[in-house]
Amino acid sequence: MRDAADKLSPRPLAQRLTLFAALGAGLGLVTCAAVPAKENAPIAMQSVLATGADLPASTIPPARAPADDIPLAIPVSADSANAQSGPVTPAVAGEPSEIEDTAVADADERLHEVFWTAHEKISLDALAIAWGIKAAQLRELNPEVDREAPIAEGTKLLVYRHDPEHLPQSIGSPNRGKLRNGMPLPEGPGWRLRTHRPRTYGTTNTIHALVEAFEDFTELYPTGPKIRVGELARRSGGRVPPHRSHRSGRDIDIGYIFRGIDDGEHRWKYMNVRNFDAEKNWALVQELLETGQVQTIYIAKKLQKLLHKEAKKHLPPEQLAALFEYPKTSESPHAKIQHWRGHSNHMHVRFLCEEGNRRCSARSK
């Protein structure tokens, strides 16, 4: 899809912003809780949530919108419980990766190690819960840290180290699969992770593509607003209620860029013609597509309309048709950008399976 993004000139790596810069204000917020879990779900989905029934199979690829995505509204306690009781797989233990011979995303040395920053004075155990990593694992990665003493606010801890023997691996489908050795999305100056982040893990190609896209967006708009990062997957994947997908490390929710000042929050905002910043959202979508790793981007049709109007300024009709489901053409079912109910306040981006990973399924379920 690089041809869809030609208006953006390539940027030298050296010009890119450094990762792990100090996060801006506003990181004290715990979770994004835009609406109660089921409130924003389509009617059909509400019954699915209630019964646990399966949804009809989707086409592949790109998948038509499965009616399963729900904005974030997970109470901290629920997530903490997940983090503690879930089958968290240590990244440096377990079976050897089954994709060792494949070319995972380019070895971007900067991402061989990922650090996260303690958001307050906090114990290592509490931090491990907030970050969805086992305390023993966090200690192993940070042997210099005194286990008994609280971690000072602003301390950077290593949460991931690249290990060719235990690469991240997406297994199965977004709706049914899991993730092995999940890689955490790094902090960055142009995007905002939540302080509570047990669901911020993905495959290597997903994380690398996100960092690339986010950095390029930040370079275009260095004064912000920051990109609001929602949930990806748990470190070892699996269920992440109330989402139906987000299980295999290839899905992420991203808040739309809206007009006006950045309020420093994580909260999603419902978009309309007045507050939807079409130019910046189009730039963000372009940067994502430019990575070549996107399978589908789910955006509510009414917002696709606004985005399409913006994209029309830059792209010829045939490229527009290949990109947008809206307006309806014969190519709509295969367009990269698809409608999915419930995506009026955030977009959902699904990344491709890692190259050569035969255990990963492009189907939704």
User: Which residues of this protein are in contact with Zn ion, per CB under 5 A?
Assistant: 69, 253, 348
Q: Least distance to Zn ion from the beta carbon of 126, Å?
A: 27
- Give the other-Cβ count within 10 Å of 172's Cβ: 17
| The residue to which tokens 């009617």 are assigned | 43
Which CB, 69 or 212, lies closer to Zn ion?
A: 69
φ, ψ for residue 211 (rounded to 5)? -65, -45
Question: What residues are paired with 349 via a beta bridge?
Answer: 252, 297
Which CB, 225 or 242, lies closer to Zn ion?
A: 242
Which CB, 233 or 257, lies closer to Zn ion?
A: 233
* Chain residue whose CB lies nearest Zn ion: 348
Q: Least distance to Zn ion from the beta carbon of 251, Å?
A: 5
- Contacts of residue 358, defined as CB under 8 A and 6 or more positions apart, other chains included, come to none
Q: Which of 300, 335, 340, 344 minimizes the C-alpha distance to 315?
A: 335
Q: Least distance to Zn ion from the beta carbon of 282, Å?
A: 20
Q: Least distance to Zn ion from the beta carbon of 347, Å?
A: 9
Q: Least distance to Zn ion from the beta carbon of 312, Å?
A: 27
Which CB, 212 or 253, lies closer to Zn ion?
A: 253
d(CA 265, CA 255) in angstroms, rounded, equals: 11
Question: Which token pair is 249?
Answer: 């490390």
- Which sign, positive or negative, has the C-alpha torsion 321, 327, 332, 336? positive
d(CA 356, CA 9) in angstroms, rounded, equals: 30
DSSP single-letter state for residue 172: B
| Distance of alpha carbon 76 from the chain centroid | 19
Q: Which amino acid is at 178?
A: K
Taking the alpha carbons at both ends of the chain, their separation in whole angstroms is 25
- Which sign, positive or negative, has the C-alpha torsion 175, 345, 326, 290? negative
Question: What residues are paired with 324 via a beta bridge?
Answer: 337
Which CB, 253 or 325, lies closer to Zn ion?
A: 253
Which CB, 72 or 138, lies closer to Zn ion?
A: 72
Which CB, 196 or 348, lies closer to Zn ion?
A: 348
Q: Least distance to Zn ion from the beta carbon of 69, Å?
A: 4
Q: Least distance to Zn ion from the beta carbon of 300, Å?
A: 12
Which CB, 94 or 241, lies closer to Zn ion?
A: 241
Q: Least distance to Zn ion from the beta carbon of 241, Å?
A: 12
Q: Which of 250, 214, 216 minimizes the C-alpha distance to 349?
A: 250
